[in-house]
Chains A and B, each alone.
Chain A
Amino acid sequence: GESVGLHLPTLSVQEGDNSIINCAYSNSASDYFIWYKQESGKGPQFIIDIRSNMDKRQGQRVTVLLNKTVKHLSLQIAATQPGDSAVYFCAEIYTDKLIFGTGTRLQVFP
């Protein structure tokens, strides 16, 4: 199949803590994965991507981990801030189409 799914619909974290958002994908032929952040009333915004020949990629305060053996993707946000509150989607590119998962809402409380 071509489905991409997320394990948790809502994640609540305290400001300053690290956040981990998980994602499972089912298409083993996908070779490019992207994490998007979507704030209310806006379109998805690119956060970080990773290709299937990599296990880990780091950006500013964000890290993406890819485990191809179990078809699992995760997004780690360090020192979570109130501005990180949003819905996060993982997506895979398969046959030149971007396939999205359900999304995880990240809530940051003081």
Chain B
Amino acid sequence: EADIYQTPRYLVIGTGKKITLECSQTMGHDKMYWYQQDPGMELHLIHYSYGVNSTEKGDLSSESTVSRIRTEHFPLTLESARPSHTSQYLCASSAGQNYGYTFGSGTRLTVV
């Protein structure tokens, strides 16, 4: 039973298009994260937020941007999609450093 939701699950889009990947959680967690994962590879942190109006870039450079206007919502936007953005994007939330992370099912993005 998922308490963190990502939409869409799959997305195929043309080069140059603007897209927004949605992530919502119902657990009231302050901390939220976006990871990028290529097939069979590790997850790389690209963005995180410690609360409303707080966003930071992660360890892996990304051309995407994020916003955190509401606690439960942490959307990721690509202004101009490119084939190099093809990957899986996973959203996660946490109650704090001493607690585990809960992951969504991910959005698999293909840019053609």
* Chain A contact residues, CB within 8 Å of chain B: 2, 32, 34, 36, 41-46, 49, 87, 89, 93, 96-103, 105
Closest CB of chain A to B66's CB: distance in Å?
A: 15
Once the chains bind, are B42 and A97 in contact (CB under 8 Å)? no
- Residues in A whose Cβ lies below 8 Å from that of B101: 34, 46, 98
A99 to chain B, nearest CB (A): 7
Partner of A44, one of B45, B96, B98, B103: B103
Number of interface residues of B (CB under 8 A): 27
Chain B residue at minimal CB-CB distance from A47: B100
* A/B interface sample: 23 pairs, CB < 8 A: A2-B59, A34-B101, A43-B90, A44-B90, A45-B103, A46-B102, A93-B97, A96-B31, A96-B97, A97-B33, A97-B48, A97-B59, A98-B33, A98-B45, A98-B92, A98-B94, A98-B101, A99-B45, A99-B59, A100-B43, A102-B41, A102-B42, A103-B42
- The CA-CA distance from A103 to B90 in the complex, in Å, is 16
B64 at the interface (CB under 8 A from A): no
A97 adjacent to B58 (CB under 8 Å): yes
